[in-house]
């Protein structure tokens, strides 16, 4: 019997993620920022040699892409679907792991506000999401999210340009389950735009350790006012 199941082989991708060092690099890259080989080596706690071979595999496996800039090599996640895959892995792992030994200051900041590839996550992320829902700017049937007419008006009024959207294939709204909060935050084009807008306005600031976002009291107040958080 020629048992040719033609299902794609998920083992290769999973195996790429399934190594400790590589997994650390990938989660670090969930910060959305492009990182160099040495930065990633530090993150994964390995020498630059081993990092090099790991990164070559990840690029070869099309999970990452590279940009060469002078003598640096900047690595980034291939696309949003890879980021999403990593996020769902994070979610499942978080729910399985009994409780992670969660101590240390970097920990708290990670829980408060962090970047999820290209949008806002953590406590602040879900609070903004809830505020949008409360004001009927988005509807949410449990796992999925749609922008209402009211929401369209609102986002237009605060500077989002809907004409640019048509070019893109990416959904405007997308809910993304937050692994630390176990509640939704907003992804998609709108999620990306909101985060960038907050950076532009100076309300948020990237921490040096990639994924964490620093929020000043002033910035937090502006966000609360702007999005009418409760």
Q: CA-to-CA distance for 190 and 145, rounded, in angstroms?
A: 12
Assess contact for 52 and 39: CB atoms under 8 A: no
Closest CA to 32 of 63, 67, 76, 89: 76
Query: Is the Cβ of residue 49 or residue 143 nearer to DNA in the bound state?
Result: 49
Choose one: 69-77, 125-133, 142-150, 153-161; the region binding DNA (CB under 7 A).
69-77
Choose one: 70-78, 102-110, 159-167, 180-188; the region binding DNA (CB under 7 A).
70-78
Query: Is the Cβ of residue 7 or residue 161 nearer to its own copies in the bound state?
Result: 7
196 binds DNA (CB under 7 A): no
82 binds its own copies (CB under 8 A): yes
With H, G, I as helix, E, B as strand and everything else as coil, classify residue 216. coil
Diameter of the chain by CA atoms? 69
81 binds its own copies (CB under 8 A): yes
Restricted to residues 111-150, the positions that interact with its own copies (CB under 8 A) are: 111, 139, 141-147
Quick one: angle between helices 123-134 and 217-227, nearest 10? Answer: 20
Q: In the numeric block, which tokens belong to residue 140?
A: 């949410």
54 binds DNA (CB under 7 A): yes
Restricted to residues 20-49, the positions that interact with DNA (CB under 7 A) are: 20-21, 36-38, 46-49
């Amino acid at each position: 019997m020629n048992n040719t199941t033609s299902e794609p082989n998920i083992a290769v991708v999973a195996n790429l993620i399934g190594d400790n060092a590589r997994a650390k690099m990938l989660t670090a890259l969930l910060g959305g920022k492009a990182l160099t080989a040495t930065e990633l080596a530090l993150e994964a706690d390995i020498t630059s040699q081993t990092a090099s071979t790991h990164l070559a595999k990840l690029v070869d496996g099309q999970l990452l892409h590279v940009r060469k800039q002078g003598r640096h090599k900047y690595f980034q996640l291939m696309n949003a679907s890879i980021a999403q895959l990593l996020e769902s892995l994070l979610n499942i792992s978080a729910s399985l792991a009994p409780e992670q030994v969660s101590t240390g200051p970097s920990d708290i900041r990670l829980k408060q506000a962090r970047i999820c590839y290209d949008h806002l996550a953590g406590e602040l992320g879900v609070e903004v999401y809830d505020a949008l829902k409360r004001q009927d700017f988005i509807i949410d049937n449990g796992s999925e999210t749609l922008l209402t007419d009211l929401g369209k008006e609102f986002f237009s009024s605060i500077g989002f340009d809907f004409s640019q959207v048509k070019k893109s294939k990416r959904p405007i709204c997308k809910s993304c389950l937050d692994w630390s909060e176990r509640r939704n935050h907003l992804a998609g084009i709108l999620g990306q735009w909101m985060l960038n807008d907050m950076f532009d306005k100076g309300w948020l600031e990237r921490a040096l350790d990639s994924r964490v976002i620093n929020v000043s009291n002033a910035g937090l107040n502006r966000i609360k006012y702007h999005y009418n958080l409760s």
